[in-house]
Amino acid sequence: MEKLTQNAISRLLNGENVSKPCLQVLAYKRVVSEGQPRYRLMLSDGTHSFQTCIMMGPLIPRLEKGEFERFTIIQLNQYVVNTVQDNKKVIVILDPEVKWKGTEINGKIGSPEMFNFGAPSNSNTNTCGGRILAPSNPSPLRNPAFSARSSTTNGSGLFHSRNTSGEPFNEQRGISSSPNLDMNLNICRIQDINPYLNRWAFKGRATAKTPIRTWSNAKGEGKVFSFDMQDDSGEIRITAFKNECDRYYDLIEVGKVYTVTKGTIKTANRKFSQVNHDYEITLNSDSIVLPSDDNDRHCPKITFKFVKIKDIANYNVDSIIDVLGICRDVSELVTLTQKNTGRELKKREISLIDDTETEIRLAFWGNEAENFSASEGSVVMVKKARVSDFNGKSLTSVSSSFVQIDPQLTEAYGLKGWYERMRDNMQITKLSVNSATSDSGTWRTLNEVSVESISSNGGSLVFSAKATIVQVGRTQIYMSCPTTGCKKKLVDMNNGFYKCDKCQRDFDNYSPRIILSLAISDSLNEVWISMFHDEAEKILGVNGGELMAMKDNDETQFDELMTSLNFKSFIFRLRSSIDHYKEETRVRTTVLSVSPLNLVEYGKKLLSKLREMDI
DNA sequence: CCCCCCCC
């Protein structure tokens, strides 16, 4: 009997702080709740037994390997007491430690009775908070034992130090006046999270979750996933590496509310995260992430702000939007090779339309592309799709995107109804060029290369133009890293070796890379463009090594070759994008490809253009 | 500690 913690069951169900209680496993069974497998255990302290003790996530394999067999005595190093619907309590076991194996005990200790909430000694059950962290964890979270305040909420306790009197919500949350609450825990609004907070915690709803991704590079390898959390003040991104990745991946479910405390707060890099917050959080071994009250009033339910497809035209590249559309077409899975890295990519495109009678194409990648299946006419909802400039304007699904086919939403039913009425009677405008059917896409003249015109096009424009080289600027030939896909400029160690900072390696060789700066002109404008290696080799007719040798050994020949580019005309495939450099905003244009000007073909193109114009 | 989200 002394192996078990006396009255632990009644004490902790009554909201008391019980440090590392030892309990005996009497039974368990597998259940599936909201699609997630978990185990429900009956635990006993010798006096009482309680049968809604939950193990989930990473504990499941341990349990299934027999670690917590019947009669095992486990010590709960970390656990949470949750209140679920009808004020029922659930003990969530987070960190069980086996004290005695079931075979060592081989029998039930004491004569435990089923714990009864109706018993007089438990009359204050409802006034106690439900969510308790074992104090063994040196955490600022303790049983707050809120009384009056939390009783007005749905009974879940720990983080209900918020004022529930209906005051404006931008008061600092969680600084409780409760005399029992000797903690310095700052329940922050998510928007207020910053690296200068000493002790903080926040509560938010998971709005997105990425798959686990593994990496391997010069610095090492590992795995990682991220999730986004939102309260009524804002949203923040949380990232979990390696151990924390394993620990939290199964726990986090989109739509659920969690309380988070401890972790590294660092500056968010807007380049990589579209979440609107200056900071992001990396979980570490001290971090605590607890399932919380999914109905918390500070954590609004996930909402969708569907952008009408027609209006996507006005969104900048890289914007993150929600979209709802009828799937008009699903392309085959295609495999393509990434030019820079040689990596193989799998892609599937679908096209979406809505009642603005506008069509946009949406790309899925990798597994998502392989697994995507929806038929023509179904409604496709994507939360957090990224606006892209591929083939005009298009959308792409990213790791934090959430895709649903035929969602149970009023808007979806409305859209479906519209489609059934209108499907044969529509004038569809396309925002995306279908890459399968397009020639080289849109043709433009160089007067359209201006900050104003590119800006109004979402910051980037890909187009074809016929133009003539009118000036050759600086020609750079540099020693680049010979690693496939790495073009980093090498540092000459002057000992026969060249160092790549990116690959963190020394090489005894390098590959010469060319960058040309050219002014090209058509009848309307002159534009400076950058032309990189492959395309430069094409128009120069020499390779990088030859050009480098020529520049070193025969400058006259080199100058002649460069000068010979003047007044040559080509069909350029160009990308112009807005570039912010220091205080300046300007357009940067790079060559995607260059092809010879075929006068007959080009003439035909102009003719058909004239006919279109009805001249 | 990732930082890839790709394609013309």
Q: Where are the domains of chain A?
A: 8-133, 144-291, 309-430, 446-478+513-612
Question: Residue A158 class from Cβ within 10 Å (0-12 exposed, 13-18 middle, 19+ buried)?
Answer: buried
Q: What is the pLDDT of residue A130?
A: 25
How many Cα atoms occupy the beta-carbon half-sphere of A321 within 13 Å?
23
CA of A394: nucleotide with nearest C1': B7
Could you please state the CATH topology (level 3) that the domain comprising A446-478+513-612 is classified under.
Answer: OB fold (Dihydrolipoamide Acetyltransferase, E2P) (2.40.50)
Q: What is the pLDDT of residue A261?
A: 92
- Closest residue (CA to C1') to nucleotide B3 in the complex: A272
Q: What is the pLDDT of residue A458?
A: 67
CB atoms under 10 Å from CB of A196, counted, come to: 6
- pLDDT tier for residue A567 given thresholds of 50, 70 and 90: very high
List all nucleotides in chain B with at least one atom under 7 A from a protein Cβ. Answer: 1-8
Of A120 and A251, which is predicted with more confidence? A251
Burial code of A74-110, b = ≥16 C-beta within 10 A, e = fewer?
bbbbbbbbbbeeeeebbbbbbebebbbebeebeeebe
| CA A475 / C1′ B3 distance in Å | 31
| Fold match flag (A309-430 vs A446-478+513-612) | yes
Q: What average pLDDT does chain A have?
A: 84
User: Positive or negative CA dihedral for A242, A243, A249, A250?
Assistant: positive
Beta strands in A110-161, from DSSP E residues, in sequence order: 113-114
The CA-atom distances, in angstroms, between A306 and each of A16, A235, A315, A390, A411 are: 46, 18, 13, 21, 9
CB atoms under 10 Å from CB of A160, counted, come to: 28
A8-133 placed in CATH 3.40.50.300: no
For A446, list phi and psi in degrees, rounded to 5: -70, -15
CA of A268: nucleotide with nearest C1': B3
DSSP A42-85: EEE-SSEEEEEEEEETTHHHHHHTTTT-TT-EEEEEEEEEEE-G
Q: Is the pLDDT of residue A350 over 90?
A: yes
In the structure encoding, which two tokens stand for residue A278, read together? 């200056």
Fill in the amino acid letter for A31.
V
Fill in the amino acid letter for A75.
Q
| CA A401 / C1′ B7 distance in Å | 19
CA of A361: nucleotide with nearest C1': B7
CA of A241: nucleotide with nearest C1': B1
Q: Is the pLDDT of residue A45 over 80?
A: yes
Q: Is the pLDDT of residue A341 over 90?
A: no
Q: What is the pLDDT of residue A143?
A: 27
| CA A614 / C1′ B5 distance in Å | 43
Q: Is the pLDDT of residue A369 over 70?
A: yes
| CA A337 / C1′ B6 distance in Å | 9
| CA A500 / C1′ B8 distance in Å | 30
| CA A523 / C1′ B7 distance in Å | 31
Q: What is the pLDDT of residue A435?
A: 55
| CA A203 / C1′ B1 distance in Å | 25
- Closest residue (CA to C1') to nucleotide B2 in the complex: A224
Mean pLDDT of all residues in A109-120: 80
Q: Supply the DSSP symbol for A484.
A: T
Could you please state the CATH topology (level 3) that the domain comprising A144-291 is classified under.
Answer: OB fold (Dihydrolipoamide Acetyltransferase, E2P) (2.40.50)
Least confident of A333-342, A385-394, A598-607: A333-342
Mean pLDDT of all residues in A290-309: 93
Of A56 and A41, which is predicted with more confidence? A41
Q: Is the pLDDT of residue A520 over 80?
A: yes
Least confident of A70-74, A85-89, A129-133, A334-338: A129-133
Mean pLDDT of all residues in A285-294: 92
Q: Is the pLDDT of residue A50 over 90?
A: yes
Q: Is the pLDDT of residue A157 over 80?
A: no
In the structure encoding, which two tokens stand for residue A147, read together? 């009384």
Q: Is the pLDDT of residue A7 over 90?
A: yes
Class level of CATH domain A309-430: mainly beta
Q: Residues with Cβ < 8 Å from A381, sequence gap 6 or more?
A: A304, A322, A323, A324, A403, A404, A405, A407, A409, A412
Q: Is the pLDDT of residue A184 over 50?
A: no
Q: Is the pLDDT of residue A160 over 50?
A: no
Per-residue HEC secondary structure of A224-290 comes to EEEEEEECCCCEEEEEEEHHHHHHHCCCCCCCCEEEEECCEEEECCCCCCCCCCCEEEECCCCCEEE
Q: What is the pLDDT of residue A119?
A: 58
Mean pLDDT of all residues in A104-128: 67
CA of A440: nucleotide with nearest C1': B8
- Closest residue (CA to C1') to nucleotide B6 in the complex: A338
Q: Is the pLDDT of residue A514 over 90?
A: yes
Q: What is the pLDDT of residue A177?
A: 30
pTM of the model: 0.60
Q: Which residue has the tokens 């915690």?
A: A201
CA of A243: nucleotide with nearest C1': B1
- Asked if residues A215 and A222 have their Cβ atoms less than 8 Å apart, the reply is yes
Distance between CA A161 and CA A29 in Å, rounded?
Answer: 35
| CA A472 / C1′ B1 distance in Å | 44
CA of A435: nucleotide with nearest C1': B8
- Quick one: angle between helices A544-553 and A533-540, nearest 10? 70
Q: What is the pLDDT of residue A34?
A: 61
Q: What is the pLDDT of residue A70?
A: 93
| CA A398 / C1′ B4 distance in Å | 10
pLDDT digits (tens, 9 = 90+) for A72-93: 999 998 887 777 766 778 888 8
Mean pLDDT of all residues in A87-100: 86
